[in-house]
Structures are given as C-alpha cells and as structure tokens.
Amino acid sequence: MLKYVGKSEKRVDGIKKVTGYVRYTDDLKLSGMLYARIKKSPYPHAKILRIDTSKAEKLPGVKVVITGKVVPNRVGLYLEDKTFLAINKVRFIGEPVAAVAAESEEIAEEAVSLIEVDYEELPAIFSPLEGIKPDAPIIHEDLGSYKHASIILPQSGTNISNHYKIRKGDVEKGFKEADFVFENDFHVPHIQHSAIENHCAIAQVDPEGKITVWAGCQSPYAVRRTLAVAFDMPLNKIRVISPAIGGGFGAKAGTTLEGIVIPLAQQANYRPVKLSFSREDVFTNTFIRQGMYARIKTGITKDGKIIAEENTFYWDGGAYTEYGVNIARAGGYASTGPYDIPNVKADSICVYTNHPVGGPYRGFGMSEIHFAIEQNLDIVAHKIGMDPAEFRRKNALKDGSATVTGQVLENVGLMQCLDKVTEDIEWDKREKRVSKIKYRGKGIACMYKAPSMPNNVGSSAIVKINEDGTVNLLVTAMDLGQGSDTVLTQIAAEVLTVPISQISIMTGDTDCTPYEWQTVASRTTYCCGNSVKRAAEDAKNQMLRLASLKFGISEEGLELKDGQIISKIYPDKKVKIADLAMGLTMPDGSGIHGPIIGRGAFIPPDVKDTDKETGQGDKPVAFWTFGVQAAEVEVDIETGEVKVLKIAAAYDVGKAINPELICTQIEGGIVQGLGSALFEEMKIEKGKVLNPSFVDYKIPTAGDVPEMKISIIENPEPTGPWGARGIAEPCMVPTAPAIANAVFDAIGCRINSLPITAEKVLKAIKEKKR
Amino acid sequence: MKEFEYLKPDSIKETISILSQFGEKAQILNGGTDLIVDMRDKIIQPEYLVDIKAIPQLNRITYNKQDGLNIGATVTLNEISNSKVVQTNYPILVKACKTVGSYQVRNRATLVGNICNASPAADTAPPLLVLEAKVNIIGPTGEKIVPINQFFTGVKKNILKKGEIVTSITIPPIKDKWTGVYLKQGRKKEVDLATVGVAVVCIRDEVRIALGAVAPVPVRAFKTEELLKGKTIDESLLEKAGKSALTEISPISDVRSSQEYREEIIKVLVRRAILQAKGGHIL
Amino acid sequence: MKHKIRFTINGEVKEMEVQPNKTLLKMLREDLDLIGAKEGCGAGECGACTVLVDNEPVNSCLMLAVEADGKEILTIEGLSDDINLDSIQESFLKHNAIQCGYCTPGMVMSAKALLNRNPHPTEEDVKEALAGNLCRCTGYQRIINAVLDVAKKGGKK
C-alpha cells in the first residue's frame, strides 16, 4: 500500500513562491556587481571586417569590453557549431559581436552604442527550402570539421547539419499496392517559449581562477560542460548554480548567455558581472522553436489501412543548430506518429538559415510533426469517408506493433486514451450549426513521444540521513514549475518511510548536488526518480545492515516502516532511523560505519543506436508516452475567428506519482498548445523579427482557457519508478492538430499552416464558396 | 531611460508656461502607459517631463443634461468605466474604455492621453467621433474648442501646437433616445490592439459611423451615413453600407493584419454594429 | 536631479530620494529589496510587475518612482507576515495554482485588488481582472478557481 507515491501531495516549494520569496537569477544582488550589455549584429549574414571598441572602453564606468576573440572555442550539445560571441562572421540579426560590463545598465548601454563594427553583407537564407538548393550560399563553411555526436550526420559543404533517415520495408512497393495515394504539405512557423522570466546570468571569478555562474538554467551540468569546452577549463574549476527558474519549456536548456558573462568576469577584477536580457533580447537572442515544412505521402487500402508512408521534413534550424540537429533526428524516428505502418521512408533534414537560433521547445519536434501527421490522417480519413477516430483506431500502434524503427512495443495505452477522449468529447454528438454565423466542430489527434537524449546519459541522487532522522535529498534535476522537487521528495519519502515534511530537497549546484544530464525530454520523473529511488534504497540497505548487526537478525527478517527498522517477527526489536544515521554504536561504546549517505545513479537500460542508413533499431529510446486530445471549436464564419470551447485529453503516464501535478502539467500544456494553434507566430522578414514583444506576439490569457477534461491512464512502464513515464512535453503535442481538425469539421476547410488565424480561416471559407 | 528633469506643476497656467518654454524638449506625463514605453525604447527622449496629475481641475468627471459629459485630462479609463454617470448616459464609452489594454493599464491610462497619442487604432476615438465630442484646449494664446473630427491630423499626430494642452473632452448631450455600439476586432478578444474598430450611434433615424485602425486617422464615415439616411435598414442596405465604408478608408497591411482582411472585417463589423445599434441580433 | 518622495510601502512610511528616470518597479527591486514584483517585459504587457498603488493594481514598470510620492503601495511581500498567509495565497496553494512561481506575485496582487473592489466576482469578472497577467505554466484555470474559491468563502480562510 503506497503512502506517498500516487498521492496528490502539496508542492514543497509552494509557500516560497506564493509569498514572492523565491530568488530568481535577476533578483540576486551580489556586492560589487557590474552590469553587462551586448552589441548585436544588424545583418542576417555578414563578414565582420572590423570591431573598434576604443570609444566604449574610454567611457567612465566601463570596466570590460570583449569581442569574440576571447571565446574562440566552438561549443554545442550535439554539434559544436556555435560560439558565444560571433567570430569572423555573423549569421543572424541580433547575434552578439561584443559585450560590455559597466557600473550600471545605462552606462553599459551607452558603451555598446559606442562600439563600431564594419560588416560586409553576404547573401542570406531565410527558408530551409532555399538552404537546401545546390547553389545556396553556405552559412557554415567549416561544417565538415565540427565535432558532433555520433548520432548526428552533418553534410559538409552544404547547409544540412543533420539528415536522419528511416528506410523500413519497401515504400515503392507499398504505394504500388495501395488503393489510394495522397500527398499533403504542411508548414509550422517559428514560435517562442515565452517563459515569463527573461534569461539572466551572473558570473564571478575568484583569485584561484574558479568561475561561479548563476543562471536559471534547466541543466547546470550541461552548462558547466559547455563552458569548460568554451574556455578550456577543467570541470572542477567551474561551478554552476541554478537558483530558481521562472519557466523553462526548453528555453533554458543547454546554454544561451552563460558564456558571455564569463569572459567579462574574467577581466572584472573578481567583481560579479550580471547580464539580464530584456523581453526583446529573449525573442531575438535565445532559442526559438524551429520552423518546419512537411510533405507526407500516404498509401492506404480501401478499407483504411495505411500500408506505405513517405515523410519529408525540412527543419528551419536557424543560424546555429547545435541543439536543433537532434530535434530533426527525433522528428525522424517518430516520423509517422503512433501508427503501425509496414513500409516507411522518412527524411528529416535540419537546415541552417539566417534566422535566430532554433533550439529545444517543449515537444522537441513532436508538436511540429504531429501537426502535419494528424491533419494528414484526418484528410486521408475524410477522403475515403471514414470517421477520423475509427481510422486512427484501425492504424494505431498496439501491443506487439512495430514502430518506424522496428521496435516492438508493449504496454501501449493509446487505444485506452482514444476511447476515453472520444467519450469525454462526446465524439458522436455533433451540433454543427449553432446559428447562421457560428459553426461548431470536433477534431481529434493522437501523439507519442520518447525522451530525446543520448542513449548513455545518466542521473544521480544523494540521500543524507541527518542525526535526527530527517533527510536531505540532493539532485540536480531542476524544478521549472513542473513539480519535480515535490515528486522526487515523494519518491524518497516512500522508500525511506519518512513524512515529506522531514525531507528537504536541494537542487541546482554542480559543486554539491550530483550529476544530472539535463532537465528536459520529460525524463525527470523517470530518470532522476529512479536515481532517487536507488539512493533511498541504498541508504535503507545500509541501515538494514547496521540494524542486522545490532539485533543479530538477518536482513531478510527486518523491514523499514514508519521511519524505523523493525523485526518482522519480534516487534520489540526496533530502531529509529535517527539512531542509525551516524553509524552504529556497539555495546562496548565503539562506533562503526559512519554517517549514512545513500547514492543512486541511473541510465535507461538497453537503449541503443539505430542504423545510419535505415534508422532501424529495436530499442532506440527509453520509453514511449502515448496520448490523445480532442477539441471542440466554434467558428464565426463571417470573421473567421476560432474559439476553442473544450479540450478532452488522456495520457498514459504509467504511474501518476502525483496525480494533481500531472493534471496541472496537462492543463498548462493544452493552453500552450492552444497558443501555438491560434495566435503564436514569430514574424520574421529577411531575418528580422518584426514582433519581438507581447504587443504583437500574443500568448493565451485567462480569457482564452477552454473547458478541459483530463484523464490519466496507467499502464506501467516496467523500467520507470513504480511504472512512471514522462508527461511534461506530450501534453502540448496534439493540441494544435486537434484544433485544426475541429476547424475542418466545423467549416470544411483545411488550414495547413500554423497559426490558424481568423484571417486564414476567412480566406479559406471565401475560397471554398467560389 | 535617458535622464530628464521631472516637473510637477499644480496649475494649467504653469504647465503652459513650461511647455511653451521648452517646446519639443518637453513631454506631458499623464498616465504614462504609452510614453514610458516609448522612453524605454528610446523612441522619445524628452529633457523635461511635465507631470500634470497634480492639477486639480483635470481629474474630474462632470455631467448635466444641458451641457453633457465633461471628462478631465487626467481621468483614467477605469474611472470612466466605473463612473455611474458614464455607465448610465454613455455606455458606448464604457465599452470602448474597457477594451483598452488590461485592468492595470486602465488604472493609469487616460481618455485624453489615448486621443493625444493619436494612434490610428485608438479605441476611444471611434466612439468619441460618433458622439461628436469636443476637445477643450488651453494654450499660450488662450482657450479653444476643437471638434474631435479635426483633432487627429496624421498617424500619431494631433492638432496641438507648442505650449497647448488638452484639459478635457466634452461629449454633448443627445436630446433623443439613442443607442451606441463599439465593436473591436483584434487577434485576441482581450488585451490587444484593434485591428479594426467600428463605432455606431443611432439616434432615431440618424446613423453615425466611425472607423478605427483602417486609415491614418480614425474617421467618420460620412458618405456611408448619407447612404443610410432616411432608408429602412435591411440586409441589402447593410451590405451596401459595408461596401461604402470601404471607399472611405485606406487600410494597410502590417504586422497585425493584412489589408484584405481589414477590408473584409470592416464590412462585417459595420453591418453588425448597425444591426446591434438598431436592436437587432447578429445571430 | 534627485527628487525627495514620501510614501507608504507595505504599511511602513518611507522617505527616499530618487532619480526621475527610474521606474517604480526598479525602485522596489533595487532600492527596497522587494523583489517579488518582476520585470517580464518592461512594457506593461505581462503584468509580472503588478503592485497595488492606493489599492489599485498597476504595472509598476510603467510608473516612475517619483510618481509614488504621497501614495500607498502594497506588494506581495506586504500580504503575509511571518505567521499568516493572505487568504488568496492560501487558496493558490490549495488549488495548485502555482508552477514556476514567476507570475504568482503579480497574479496574487491583481486578484487581491479584484476582491477588494468586488468581493463576489463572476468567472468572467475574474478573467477580466487577470487578463493583464500572463502565465505560461498553469493554463490559468486553477488560478481562476483559486480566486473564485476565496470569493465564495467571503474572504475568510
């Protein structure tokens, strides 16, 4: 009988947050702090001919001025293609070419305006479709020499930084045998995370040369490693502290501005240097979600079985694709969506453009490809007169199905999710014409996602038992708001049989908290949760061993219950955790063992590479999460405005460690998905972001919230803690296509590109009339 | 923000003297919701900021049946929306005020500030146009009253000369039974700038129409009003009215909307606003 | 030239000298260590800087510090003391209306102002009052529920 796991425990960080007490990076004030500003490129693609910083250096109050010369090493998570300041050339409007640290923000700003830069403009690329042309100007001439992960396949001499292929079965044969073949195109623009906290980083160097960085980053260890590479420093000489994060969604994964403050700090006479991005800076100088063009060719039998599919995805990766290359890969190995298709050809191609930097965004490619996949399915279903939900049931992955990589699946909860959602949205009831101008419709979309991470990355946790039996839990999994602090504490509480209030979790300090690859990929409950479980079990086992020595009873005869080790047979033989925390004192007064420190580490088991040519592999990912959403919309056919009335969602989470927190995640994901469906688009013209503020980049507000009905399905993931699998990203993925399909149901018009603006809808309605 | 000198006069006389003295170098600080953003973005960099919120006469709303409604320069949009007198007598103005920004913005933003900012999309402009409001101005040469129709002179340009300030807006009484409607189209239903704004007032058979965000200045659609004069409002007339409205405006494509969409929406909103004002239902 | 101002902040009277080109938000954060109000956009669009001035919610990024003269200002730090939370804060916790916490101070202040002026708001009233507070994590529904719950209980815990 579980006591803490599976319960909707209250957030352990709630009171700190609701009182405004939590200090995010920009709230930190260090004595002697200097303020930094960056000099940005006005051109999307240009050679840097000359940078003159002399006037800036002379301005009173300016302490440090740097250019790319001080950061010569390229860095990157999956492909080392970027530098923190531009070197030799700039590749997007806004790219930092110099930086200043001064006594105040105003002085730093003025200093930046005094830096003179001469450029020679180069022809630029603003679309991946342009970037792949044989005569396209090359954005990264040295692509062939960039270090990269073995799973990434850059093409030297081109703008293609990764080309992931799936060749399963024989698509040509499949298309020949199909009764119908359809081809459809889709487009997803760049959008941005718009976490309410803007990026901020502080760096300070001490006289021994040790660097400390404070930044609200999702992945302190990834930041540490990247900085070590960038600055040729050993890892023990860099400390990364992530104080608190005001929203991540991938925006604060990897590195963004951390590398700019360090070379400033290294010349600041040990004074800390803070760089705070404005909202406009965030729009142009931090990750954006990659744009994507998709073409899907589908061959089906007349009774609705998909037997062949050819997917081509062109990703607009932006100026640097150190992260984006893996998004393209993820798009590739998930390319058909959660469906069982025997013959698949997929090409997922990451292309450089002179747009701001593409990077990880909640979903990691899944939202983008599912917008295409799920609308495509809908189109095909309608063309053969089949109900879209039925069509999905017919083709869905089930236990024993093989994915596009040939992985045979078990514990597939997709059908249960589909059944629950069609029930909750009342799929068979349609009230189409509410009035002369208001039409309603319902649409459905399925999804799946696996954590996209290298096969061999790990998590770890440390459990310290205090002298009074309370516990300190150390991890570097970051709570971005998703509630990991709470869930990980619940896991420790469950194993140690100690109330949650007696466990304090600490995260985000690479000097003290143990290694965590990154807080991304919906991997935290699964990976770090397993680590915490193991660490707690390690502590428990040490205490069992000591108790066994104490009582002379074998370990099998003892159990940990309600904070005590107690004999299963002799209930008077018991000892509190507190009395074993510092070791065991023997009858003769001597002590043994010492303080109890539990260690746990975890790498997902047996995850292997796929074949470079065919993309085939029997376990390319740790687990798959399946989910379904359905939307009911109302369209004003005179203005084209779409209102989302209701969203029903069901996800197979394996085991809900904290059901309420899962629901809150899903609600947030739905509303974020709604934003991407209806409003959000970075309007970039010739490389310039035209809407770098909330005035013209609109995200959902309280009035946009639809009715939401959320269901949790639990088919345990065998390798997850109590069966848990990830949910953080899946909950945003199917919202946009569900809405698009609902719009089609309402008005009979397809909107093949996001966002589904009133303008597009009205245009489609008018064209249909003609 | 660049450094500046902050002045807080407590009389109109003093304000005019300061504005006359410093001319282009001075800016009035009223609600600040447009100005401070522009100063932060370095679009406007005044050397002198003249805070008029300490001037007592400017923060009043007064109303009587003979003279109509008078709203002082520093009266905020929320004060207008919450005023019983405005709710009862000019509900169209309440509606328009409530569509500007967020509740927080409306606690600082002012009606007079909204029109002085003179954005083509200003939400309070179309209703003021159909209400035939008058703008009360005081300057070095004395007082004058300008019909709202003449107040806007271009994109973000108004008729004020050096040294002049708007002290209040007067909305004349309407002697007959009347209804007013303001319809705003944005990308979102709330906290958005108008892509298109339409205000209609119907006084018995008279129909007044004003359009926002579709020309360099907010405009009265006089030709369309003429078209409707004395005729029974039916579907075909409403369609003609929508098409006629198009001939009186010059919408553009910008980051918010395309010209084509604005043209489509004008036709729809003009039709709906008239219908609603006449007591009909849009369905 | 600095200006002398005198105002009340979270119940305490304060006298300060401020530069005119400093916003109220920056003064709160830099000079008074009241970091609950945040700069999410600096342009009055996100509401993360919302504080109450004379009981009315305003974007403190759009107000100059000098304009605080003679005013009563309430920030999130003034809502609770060392022992008790405000009923709105309790409700936010109860309804799980907090995730990353960054929008929370602004949201709570907007909600506080709403319930001060309208103790019995409808769901539409709550949505209108919170329309100027952006949240990216929660999807808003729980925040709305938390505010309605306080209203239902008449402000009592």
Average pLDDT, whole number, for chain A? Answer: 97
What is the domain-level CATH number for residue A460? 3.30.365.10
Residues A269 and A315 grouped into a single domain = no
Answer yes or no: is B72 within a domain. Answer: yes
Distance CA B216, CA A107 (A): 38
Answer yes or no: is B39 within a domain. Answer: yes
Asked if the model's pLDDT at residue A219 lies above 80, the reply is: yes
Residues B68 and B167 grouped into a single domain = yes
* Domains identified in chain A, total number: 3
Helix axes A735-747 and A758-769, enclosed angle (nearest 10): 30
Residue finishing a domain among A558, A579, A602: A602
Residues B13 and B110 grouped into a single domain = no
Q: How many CB atoms lie within 10 A of CB A443?
A: 27
Separation in Å, CA of B41 to nearest CA in chain C: 9
Q: How many CB atoms lie within 10 A of CB A580?
A: 25
Cβ–Cβ under 8 Å, residues C102 and C48: yes
Q: What is the pLDDT of residue C154?
A: 76
Q: Is the dihedral of CA A575, A578, A582, A585 positive or negative?
A: negative
Q: What is the pLDDT of residue B279?
A: 84
- Candidates B187, B260, B261; nearest CB to A698: B187
Closest by CA position to A450, among listed A622, A293, A266: A622
pLDDT tens, residue by residue, A574-592: 999 999 999 999 999 999 9
Tell me the chain C residues in contact with residue B184 when contact means C-beta distances shorter than 8 Å: none
Distance CA A390, CA A380 (A): 12
Q: Per-residue confidence at A72, pLDDT binned at 50, 70, 90?
A: confident
Q: What is the pLDDT of residue A674?
A: 98
**Residues sharing a CB contact under 8 Å with residue C71, sequence separation 6 or more, in sequence order:** C7, C8, C53, C54
Residues A339 and A386 grouped into a single domain = yes
Residue finishing a domain among A223, A242, A276: A276
What is the domain-level CATH number for residue A52? 3.90.1170.50
Residue A243 CA, chain-centre distance (Å), reads: 19
Answer yes or no: is B237 within a domain. Answer: yes
Answer yes or no: is A536 within a domain. Answer: yes
Contact B189 A437 (CB under 8 A): no
Distance CA C141, CA C139 (A): 6
Domain boundaries, chain C: 3-78, 87-152
Closest chain C residue to the Cα of B53, Cα to Cα: C67
Distance CA A239, CA A214 (A): 9
Chains in contact with A, counting 3 or more C-beta pairs less than 8 Å apart as contact: B, C
Per-residue tokens: C128: 């209108």
Distance CA A277, CA A257 (A): 9
Closest by CA position to A65, among listed A80, A75, A55: A55
Residues B41 and B68 grouped into a single domain = no
Residues B165 and B185 grouped into a single domain = no
Contact A702 C131 (CB under 8 A): yes
Answer yes or no: is A85 within a domain. Answer: yes
Q: For B128-170, what is the HEC assignment?
A: HHHCCCEEEEEECCEEEEEEHHHHEEECCEECCCCCCEEEEEE
Q: By 3-state DSSP, what share of chain C in percent is helix, strand and coil, each rounded to 5? A: 40, 15, 45
**Residues sharing a CB contact under 8 Å with residue B142, sequence separation 6 or more, in sequence order:** none
Residues A566 and A551 grouped into a single domain = yes
The one-character DSSP state at A171 is H
Residue finishing a domain among A563, A587, A602: A602
Distance CA B44, CA A739 (A): 42
CATH code: domain C87-152 is 1.10.150.120
pLDDT tens, residue by residue, A90-103: 999 999 999 999 99
Distance CA B204, CA B224 (A): 17
Residues B84 and B106 grouped into a single domain = yes
Asked if the model's pLDDT at residue A52 lies above 70, the reply is: yes
Residues B166 and B182 grouped into a single domain = no
H-type alpha helices, A316-413:
324-333, 366-383, 388-395
Residues B160 and B71 grouped into a single domain = yes
**Residues sharing a CB contact under 8 Å with residue C154, sequence separation 6 or more, in sequence order:** C119
Residues B146 and B190 grouped into a single domain = no
Residues A476 and A563 grouped into a single domain = yes
Asked if the model's pLDDT at residue A291 lies above 80, the reply is: yes
SS3 state of residue A109: helix
- Candidates C21, C43, C132; nearest CB to B3: C21
More confident position, C156 or A734: A734
Distance CA A36, CA A280 (A): 16
Residues B200 and B141 grouped into a single domain = no
Q: Per-residue confidence at A612, pLDDT binned at 50, 70, 90?
A: confident
* Domains identified in chain B, total number: 3
Answer yes or no: is B98 within a domain. Answer: yes
Q: Percent of chain A scored above 70 by pLDDT?
A: 100
Cβ–Cβ under 8 Å, residues C155 and C119: yes
pTM above 0.90, yes or no: yes
Q: What is the pLDDT of residue B283?
A: 47
What is the domain-level CATH number for residue B269? 3.30.390.50
Weakly modelled stretches of chain B, pLDDT under 50? 283
- Candidates B190, B264, B283; nearest CB to A762: B264
Answer yes or no: is B268 within a domain. Answer: yes
Closest by CA position to C110, among listed C85, C127, C93: C127
Q: What is the pLDDT of residue A322?
A: 97
Residues B69 and B131 grouped into a single domain = yes
Residue finishing a domain among B130, B149, B171: B171
Q: How many CB atoms lie within 10 A of CB A316?
A: 30
SS3 state of residue B77: helix
Distances (CA, A) of A560 to A493, A529, A540, A571, C39: 12, 20, 7, 12, 48
Tell me the chain C residues in contact with residue A193 when contact means C-beta distances shorter than 8 Å: 136
Residue finishing a domain among B171, B197, B216: B171
- Candidates B4, B32, B102; nearest CB to C132: B102
Asked if the model's pLDDT at residue C156 lies above 90, the reply is: no
Q: What is the pLDDT of residue A621?
A: 94
SS3 state of residue A238: strand
- Residue of A642, A698, A765, A767 to mutate, interface with B, max B Cβ within 10 Å: A698
Distance CA B264, CA B260 (A): 6
Residue C84 sits at φ, ψ, to 5 deg, of -115, 145
Q: How much is the ipTM here? A: 0.97
Residues A417 and A511 grouped into a single domain = no
Cβ–Cβ under 8 Å, residues A537 and A495: yes
Strand partners for A294? A186, A313
Which domain, by its residues, includes A615?
288-453+608-769
Average pLDDT, whole number, for chain C? Answer: 96
Residues A662 and A638 grouped into a single domain = yes
What is the domain-level CATH number for residue B38? 3.30.43.10
Does domain C3-78 correspond to CATH entry 3.30.70.260? no
Beta strand A625-636 with A642-652 is antiparallel
Tell me the chain C residues in contact with residue A23 when contact means C-beta distances shorter than 8 Å: 35
Distance CA B196, CA B263 (A): 9
Tell me the chain A residues in contact with residue B192 when contact means C-beta distances shorter than 8 Å: 698
Answer yes or no: is A543 within a domain. Answer: yes
Cβ–Cβ under 8 Å, residues B209 and B199: yes
Asked if the model's pLDDT at residue C157 lies above 60, the reply is: no
Closest chain C residue to the Cα of B106, Cα to Cα: C58
SS3 state of residue B51: strand
Q: How far apart are the first and last CA of chain C?
A: 47
Interface of A with B in 680-699 (CB under 8 A): 683, 690-691, 695-696, 698
Q: Per-residue confidence at A506, pLDDT binned at 50, 70, 90?
A: very high
pLDDT tens, residue by residue, A305-318: 999 999 999 999 99
Which domain, by its residues, includes B46?
5-51
Put simply, whether A437 touches B (Cβ < 8 Å) is yes
**Residues sharing a CB contact under 8 Å with residue A401, sequence separation 6 or more, in sequence order:** A340, A408, A409, A412
Residues A371 and A468 grouped into a single domain = no
Distance CA A194, CA C40 (A): 10
The one-character DSSP state at A43 is S
Cβ–Cβ under 8 Å, residues A39 and A223: no
